[in-house]
Amino acid sequence: MSSLQPVRGTHDLLPDDARRHRWVNDRARGVAARFGYQEIETPIFEFTEVFKRTLGDVSDIVTKEMYTFTDRGGEQLTLRPEATASVARALVSGGLAQHLPLKFFYQGPMFRYERPQKGRLRQFHQIGIELLGVPGPEGDVEVIGCGYAILKALGFADRITLEINSLGDAASRQAYRARLVEFFRAHEAKLSADSKERLGRNPLRILDSKDESDRRIVAEAPLFGDFLNAESRAFFGAVTDGLETLGVPYRLNPRLVRGLDYYCHTAFEFTTESLGAQGTVMGGGRYDGLVETMGGPPTPGCGWAAGVERLAMMLDDLPPPPRPVAVLPVGAEAAKPALRLSAELRDAGFSVELGYGGNLGKRLKRADRLKASVALILGEDELKRGVVTLRDLDSGAQEDVALGALKDRLAPYR
């Protein structure tokens, strides 16, 4: 394959795609800000240890999907496969724990080496929020409520379903883990090699296995909900009550799990049938043990991430971008005045295309291709009279407008 092609699993965001991405990001950022979330931007690459500590040495992401390399200084670095670990690292390395609670919104590219498919690329983009320092169920309710508000602002309220489950507290998790080990030991011979290895280290990760044989076994595995103690049930009840108060519809999904040890209590996903097999558009949960895993103080946390590519694919047709005003100089004498006029109109808030090269007919055709609303023709005669010829490119109507009155006359075209 030619080296001048984009790398497999990446693509160029050409203007139409970029506009859809920006639409998603801007609306998400605006809604998150109304919930009090401030934007954070972490580096695209981190020391590999950041992700090995949080995602685990035997997770698929670490063993199969991370883009890891050694730099010229001999440091092992990894392109971030997700942002939550980076935000937790920023909390620890930046000494931010003294300022809790903290509320962060992020957006940007992530990287995973996996088979490219619809809505899932090797360089992909995510938006997400992280709420750090709130231990109670009100934090889970707010995080889910913010996600729902963003999806609603994008016009997806009738196309998404919130699926939710409880993973319980540490005591519930320990009881469930013991029963899960017992269950998987009885089926060990049929487990994949990866799951056999996980059985000794972290059996919960078997629940996330993508192996078809494993998935058939997992379908018969005991459910988390059967091992929740009274405290965990009360926590989850407060979350569902809060969602009902907010008017956020949900569906209980007892098979929804998170395989990593630091996840607890609420796990959730917003899913859709609009994208075929790739149905999850936003997913998250509570991760009270994450910051401590990073070497920081015990810090409760809750958050979610959403794929921008998938959200952009779900968008209906967007409103067209503002139509520009075309400034068309005719003759060498008009070049500088046209340049000054373009600058003045841009300063006044107009989108302006300055027509270069070719005769007037070609410049008018180019203005049409750019979907300009109006053309301002400035030639030797117009310069002498202190006017421009204004041509409405939809109706073809044409008139002379004094330069001093031009901005007011253009108001309908803004």
Statement to judge: residues 35 and 119 lie in one domain: yes
Three-state secondary-structure class, residue 340: helix
Q: What is the CATH number of the domain that holds 405?
A: 3.40.50.800
Please give the Cα distance from 220 to 231 (Å, whole number): 26
Please provide the average confidence, as pLDDT, over all residues in the chain: 91
What are the pLDDT digits (tens) for 329-347?
998 899 999 999 999 999 9
* Residues pairing with 39 in the sheet: 105
In this prediction the pTM is 0.89
- Measured CA distances, 403 to 31, 330, 351 (Å): 42, 16, 18
Task: Give a yes or no: residue 298 inside a domain.
Answer: yes
pLDDT at 61: 66
Statement to judge: residues 54 and 158 lie in one domain: yes
Structure tokens at 42: 């972490």
Q: Is the pLDDT of residue 360 over 90?
A: no
Quote the distance between the C-alpha of residue 223 and its chain's center. Answer: 31
Statement to judge: residues 46 and 157 lie in one domain: yes
* Residues pairing with 97 in the sheet: none
DSSP alpha helix (H) spans, 35-169: 48-55, 60, 84-93, 137-153
**Beta-strand pair 325-329/374-378:** parallel
Please give the Cα distance from 291 to 90 (Å, whole number): 10
Q: Is the pLDDT of residue 120 over 80?
A: no
Task: Give a yes or no: residue 8 inside a domain.
Answer: no
Please state the φ and ψ torsions of residue 390, each to the nearest 5 degrees.
-100, 120
Q: Identify which of 266, 240, 289 has the alpha carbon closest to the alpha carbon of residue 132.
A: 289
Statement to judge: residues 293 and 351 lie in one domain: no
pLDDT at 363: 87
Please give the Cα distance from 158 to 271 (Å, whole number): 11
Q: Within a 10 A sphere around the Cβ of 72, how many other Cβ atoms? A: 5
pLDDT at 253: 93
Please give the Cα distance from 164 to 135 (Å, whole number): 18
What are the pLDDT digits (tens) for 186-205?
998 899 988 888 887 778 87
Statement to judge: residues 132 and 267 lie in one domain: yes
How many domains, the chain? 2
What are the pLDDT digits (tens) for 84-106?
999 999 999 999 999 999 999 99
Q: Within a 10 A sphere around the Cβ of 133, how many other Cβ atoms? A: 17
Q: Is the pLDDT of residue 1 over 60?
A: no
Task: Give a yes or no: residue 283 inside a domain.
Answer: yes
Task: Give a yes or no: residue 179 inside a domain.
Answer: no
Statement to judge: residues 403 and 254 lie in one domain: no
What are the pLDDT digits (tens) for 144-172?
999 999 999 999 999 999 999 999 998 99
Q: Is the pLDDT of residue 58 over 60?
A: no
Instruction: Report the phi/psi class of residue 219: left, alpha or beta, with left for phi > 0 and alpha for psi in -120 to 50.
Output: alpha
Please give the Cα distance from 334 to 128 (Å, whole number): 51
Statement to judge: residues 42 and 114 lie in one domain: yes
Task: Give a yes or no: residue 320 inside a domain.
Answer: no
DSSP alpha helix (H) spans, 103-229: 137-153, 170-186, 193-201, 212-218
Task: Give a yes or no: residue 4 inside a domain.
Answer: no
Q: What is the mean pLDDT of residues 225-238?
A: 95
Say if residues 27 and 150 touch (Cβ distance below 8 Å): yes
Please state the φ and ψ torsions of residue 304, each to the nearest 5 degrees.
-150, 165
pLDDT at 60: 62
Task: Give a yes or no: residue 53 inside a domain.
Answer: yes
Boundary of a domain, candidates 292, 314, 336: 314
Domain limits at 89? 15-169+229-314
Instruction: Give the whole-number percent of the chain exceeding pLDDT 70.
Output: 96
Q: Identify which of 402, 370, 376 has the alpha carbon closest to the alpha carbon of residue 389.
A: 376
Statement to judge: residues 330 and 305 lie in one domain: no
Three-state secondary-structure class, residue 174: helix
What are the pLDDT digits (tens) for 277-288?
668 999 999 999
pLDDT at 227: 92
Task: Give a yes or no: residue 386 inside a domain.
Answer: yes
**Beta-strand pair 45-47/264-271:** unpaired
Statement to judge: residues 98 and 56 lie in one domain: yes
* Residues pairing with 56 in the sheet: none
